[in-house]
Amino acid sequence: MKLTVLLLSGAGVIATAVSNLADGTVVPGAFTTVLTGVLSAAFAFSVILAVRRARRRNHPGR
């Protein structure tokens, strides 16, 4: 559950930064904000995949 929230918050940060860039209101830290959102979303996604892989190894019959 926490990982899903982290993934969604990363996507929200990216969407906010992209909409700000589209509006022309470029904040000086916009690139850093986008980078932080991408990294947090990628980290959450990789952790979710690792957990799924571990569950499959523990229960190969399912």
6-10, 12-16, 17-21, 48-52: which is most confident: 48-52
4-8, 10-14, 45-49: which is most confident: 45-49
Collapse the DSSP code of 30 into the 3-class scheme (helix H, G, I; strand E, B; otherwise coil) and give the result.
helix
Q: Please give the pLDDT value at position 32.
A: 73
Torsion angle (degrees, nearest 10) of CA 60, 8, 3, 29: 130
- Which tens digits make up the pLDDT trace of 23-60? 666 666 767 777 777 777 788 888 888 888 888 877 76
Domain that holds residue 46: 2-58
Q: Please give the pLDDT value at position 61.
A: 64
Total count of domains within the chain: 1
Burial (CB < 10 A; 0-12, 13-18, 19+), residue 44, is buried
What is the reported pTM? 0.48
Classify residue 28 by its DSSP letter: T
